[in-house]
Chain A
Amino acid sequence: MSKHLVIIGNGIAGVTTARHVRNRDSEMKVTIISKESGHFFSRPALMYIFMGHMRYQDTKPYEDWFWAKNRIDLINATVQKIDADHKSLLLEDGKTVRYDTLVVATGSKSNTFGWPGQDLPGVQGLYSLQDVELLEANAKNAGRAVIVGGGLIGIELAEMLLSRNIAITILIREDAYWNNILPSDEAELVGRHIEEHGIDLRRATNLKEILAGEDGRVRAVMTEDGEEIPCQIVGLTPGVHPNIDLVQNSGIETNHGVLVNEYLETNLPDVYAAGDCVEIKAAMEGERSRFEQLWYTGKMHGEVLAKTITGERTKYERGIWYNSAKFLDIEYQTYGFVSHQPRPGETSLYWEHPEGRHCARIVYKTDSHEVVGFSFFGIRYRHRVCERWLREKRTVEYVLENLGEGNFDPEFFKQYESEIVSKFNLQNPGANLKLKRRKGLFRRLFA
């Protein structure tokens, strides 16, 4: 009899595992058990459902017939207990499901910090489809929302509520937006753009408590400075943590997340974990364990794990870091490593458009001039080219002269590469770099 692979969680990690296992092995029985939704949908697209850009069904990357056709069984239920000794799962309705191989891909949960009033009606986070439904209900009759915690989900929540003409206040602990990740120039650029949208951004402001009105719903928040901000919605978005509720007490080792090695194997045989829920143990003494709570890392976990499960034990190696996001109207892409604070031995070239909605940063080693990271706001760059430059350890001079090659903006867009190069020349007396490669209609016509 063919083996039974059971995956808990139909997010990107679980689904990628299932798809790739099926690609590599047409025999194995594959089942995905998940509660939140009957089918796989794109979590990063949640905001667009609320904003009316898409319907729920538009966020599903595969049509519903896809699963049956590829013989991936779907069970829409909560797993209540893992019985690792008997290789069996207990579902909410009392049924049990036996497995030969188990993958835990249960994702994350929103953080809360025990603020007084955080359980009041009208207070919520943003992670699941149900959160979007709840927001729909909360947004009725709301005039102002207070969002606590900046970051990527906070800004998405703000954009969502903005689309319904709800006034917004964002409280951030830091003195510039997301400046624990972004260098201060970029953090300020983002902050200005947020304010440009009419959002009231309160820097260095901490939440003290959430106050209830007579109807028992949230009425206002109180900051640590004692200011009361009236509001009907409070969005709590101070980050996420691995969802390990199910795994605890099952014999599977956990710390903050489900502990796995570089092969995504847990301490138990035939039990693996992938996606947001994992904590990858440090490979070497002195290093720290890793959390990877991103869409593409979830996908990569799934791809690697599928190999291991189908008999080709493969180590997970993430490769060169990259990421992207969007802050209201400004797109953000980063490749390699750009530290939020200047690191010793590194120099960075920062260019910003006078209008303040486009900027670029190239970080390089001060001595060898080898480029270690890029970040772009309001300009699209080519993943493949930036990654090649980083892999080949190109110097900043080389990169600048060829910068046009990396430009990924649509045709006819204004190109800023020559301004970026001039900025370098200005900062480095003696340097007289010329942009050799522009992205241009003609170059590409005859390339």
Chain B
Amino acid sequence: MSPIQIQKPSVLHRHKDFTVLRRSGLGLFLLGMLVLIGSLGMSDYRITNASLQASEGKISTERIQLLQPLVGQHYTSKFAALEAIEANLRNDAAINDYELGVAKFWLLKNAATGVLRGNTVLLFLLSIVLATIGGLLYILPQSREGLPGIKNNGIWFNSTMARGLIGILLGGLLIAFYIFLYWYPYYIVNLIILADPMSEFIRNLPADQWFFYGLLYTLTIIVMGVRMFVKYRHSRYHLVRTASVIFFQFGFAFMIPSLLERMNCPSMDFKNAWPLNYSFFMDWNLNTLLSSGNLGVFMLVWGIVLALVVVPVMTYFYGKRWYCSWVCGCGGLAETLGDPFRQLSDKSLKAWRIERIMIHSVLVFAVVMTTMQIVNFVSNGSLFGNYTWRVNQWYSFFVGAAFAGVVGTGFYPLMGNRVWCRFGCPLAAILGIVQKFKSRFRITTNGGQCISCGNCSTYCEMGIDVRWYAQRGQNIIRASCVGCGVCAAVCPRGVLALENGPEEGRYREVENEL
């Protein structure tokens, strides 16, 4: 048998081949990530009077006093350091777990010395900045390879995107990251130290885990937003809405709150509407706002107007999409970082049933909690007292952190990029109810052109079986549809169009003489 003669593909000979550049980009990205993870081991911890003083303002002076016996101690392991710190703090019997966590975080962070502290800027460049540059180098050349158009080639053969080994590992990594971020931030103080120079520069404050997270989140949306610009460069709808989510993340979620903090004002993400913003009506927030003069009052009024007026009115005119795939931070991440995973959403009827039960339960939970918060605030704590605090705790733990964070993002590579938005977000539930019953939005089906191919359903991140409607010539109006427009983009026959129009006949099966 003669070996099969293989000609080197001269295919795409008109298009440049950037494989080398892209591989190097990927290499740099992975290197940056490696440095980032490596930084976790780049400190030792020395408790000094200065390090204790630095934690003042975060922890009460009396508690700091408890640590005096440790001054002069040097630990090479953060675990040993944390153990000692905790043992000493426990001498105050009144300390609760939450306070303990905060104290451990700041005490350890301020005690860190060594390579990382000495070269923070350099290591920031070598980790986060390098990964960003690498990511861009990997992504950008794709705009010169091949022609614009939908290119979903090989997605289901790809280990990352088709729930293969890499996908599962990636999911695990993301889940682990969120668990540390929410519940054990003191184990990852070194990551947060990396963000110190940036935090000092923007906010004039040392970085906490939320600043670090916000920075990472924003950079991710920008880099993966660039990927969206490249991938969907033939579709202006996607270009515009991607620019929009980048703008709202960078401006509203990241810069404005940071600058407010710099100016010592109460901080607020002005686009984060209740009940997604579940802490808005918590007493501490209301107290802060009410004691912060005009700005505070403005924030209070705006938060209420946003939830009660802007959200329903905008949804009436444009559908849920104005928020979920144009403005929202969770949506912003889902539409950028999450785009490669959209096909993993479950399209079955069963999933739809579970979705409706879950999301509306969370909504009920949120409404009950908020009612308690408000009643409690107005009655000065006399009505529900401690229960409110308990319920807040539960909500923050189960919904705010576990669902929105760990599952919401950690499950991207496992169940698609909208797990939170689809099954958990109470704001999405409200937007969905408006969209379904009182809105001008619909996805129009173009007569009889559908070939039932299934691209629309496959790439619907909300798990909507778009084809079910399209092949019957029926318009698609589903509470969960976030109007990402990808179903319309991937349809090879031009069957779907997102439209706002008169409400009458919105649900109509298109007159079609089939």
A residues within 8 Å of B by Cβ? 12, 42, 44-45, 48, 51-55, 58-61, 63, 141-144, 162-163, 165-168, 196-199, 213-215, 217, 219, 230, 232, 295-296, 299-300, 303, 319, 322, 324-326, 328-329, 331, 333, 380-384, 387, 408-414, 444-445, 447
Contacts and interface: CB of A to CB of B under 8 A. Distances in A.
Interface in B4-63: 4-15
Given A42-B453, A53-B153, A324-B494, A445 B467 contact: no
B290 to A, nearest CB: 38
Contacts of B240: 412
Contact of B447 (A44, A325, A382): A382
Contact of B154 (A42, A163, A303, A381): A163
B147 A197 contact: yes
Nearest to A410: B237
A329 B148 contact: yes
Contact of B156 (A53, A383, A384): A53
B454 A61 contact: yes
Q: Which of B239, B455, B490 has the most CB of A within 10 A?
A: B455
A121 to B, nearest CB: 11
A324 B452 contact: no
B514 A303 contact: yes
Interface stretch (B301-309, B327-335, B406-414, B498-506): B498-506
Contacts of A142: 4, 6
A445 B148 CA distance: 30
A410 B12 contact: no
Contact of A326 (B148, B235, B492, B497): B492
A12 B514 CA distance: 14
Nearest to B240: A412
B2 A322 contact: no
Nearest to A40: B452
Contacts of A295: 451-452
Given A215-B4, A328-B149, A383 B236 contact: no
Contacts of A296: 448-449, 451, 514
A5 B457 CA distance: 31
A382 B500 contact: no
A165 B513 CA distance: 42
B493 A326 contact: yes
Interface in B237-293: 237, 239-240
B511 A384 contact: yes
Given A52-B154, A410-B237, A444 B494 contact: no
Contacts of B236: 410-414
B1 interface: yes
Contact of A51 (B148, B152, B471, B513): B152
B446 interface: yes
B317 interface: yes
Interface residues of B, number: 67
A409 B500 CA distance: 14
A63 B465 CA distance: 10
A54 B458 contact: yes
A410 B489 contact: yes
Contact of A444 (B447, B468, B499): B499
Interface of B: 1-2, 4-15, 147-150, 152-158, 234-237, 239-240, 317, 348-349, 444, 446-449, 451-455, 457-458, 467-468, 471, 485, 488-490, 492-494, 497-502, 510-514
Contacts of B451: 42, 44-45, 295-296
B493 A331 contact: yes
B214 to A, nearest CB: 30
A141 B485 CA distance: 38
B501 to A, nearest CB: 6
Contact of A198 (B13, B153, B237, B510): B13
Given A63-B349, A331-B492, 20 more contacts: A45-B455, A52-B156, A53-B156, A54-B455, A59-B453, A61-B471, A143-B5, A143-B8, A165-B11, A214-B2, A296-B514, A299-B448, A322-B448, A326-B493, A329-B147, A329-B148, A329-B149, A410-B489, A410-B498, A411-B236
B13 A410 contact: no
B400 to A, nearest CB: 34
B201 to A, nearest CB: 36
Contact of A199 (B4, B11, B153, B490): B11
A163 B153 contact: yes
Contacts of A410: 235-237, 485, 488-489, 497-498
A145 to B, nearest CB: 10
A320 to B, nearest CB: 8
Contact of A166 (B11, B14, B467, B511): B11
B502 A447 contact: yes
B454 A45 contact: yes
A55 to B, nearest CB: 5
B156 A54 contact: yes
Contacts of A52: 152-158
B91 to A, nearest CB: 60
B6 A143 contact: yes
A143 B3 CA distance: 13
Contact of A215 (B1, B7, B154): B1
Q: Which of A54, A331, A412 has the most CB of B within 10 A?
A: A54
Q: Which of A44, A61, A63, A303 has the most CB of B within 10 A?
A: A61
A48 B453 contact: yes
Contacts of A219: 5
12 contacts: A51-B152, A53-B152, A55-B156, A63-B349, A144-B9, A215-B2, A303-B514, A331-B493, A333-B494, A382-B447, A408-B497, A444-B501
Nearest to A414: B236
Given A54-B454, A55-B156, A214 B147 contact: no
A408 B153 contact: no
B450 to A, nearest CB: 8
A380 B449 CA distance: 11
A59 B458 CA distance: 9
Given A45-B453, A197-B12, A410-B489, A167 B7 contact: yes
A411 B319 CA distance: 14
A300 B239 CA distance: 38
Contacts of B512: 383-384
A412 B237 contact: yes
Q: Which of B150, B449, B467 has the most CB of A within 10 A?
A: B449
B4 A167 contact: no
A230 B155 contact: no
Contacts of B154: 51-52, 163
B492 to A, nearest CB: 5
Contacts of B9: 143-144, 165-167
A59 B454 contact: yes
A232 B1 CA distance: 15
Contacts of B349: 63
B155 A48 contact: no
B149 A380 contact: no
Given A214-B1, A296-B514, A53 B455 contact: yes
Contacts of B157: 52
A299 B12 CA distance: 38
A194 to B, nearest CB: 11
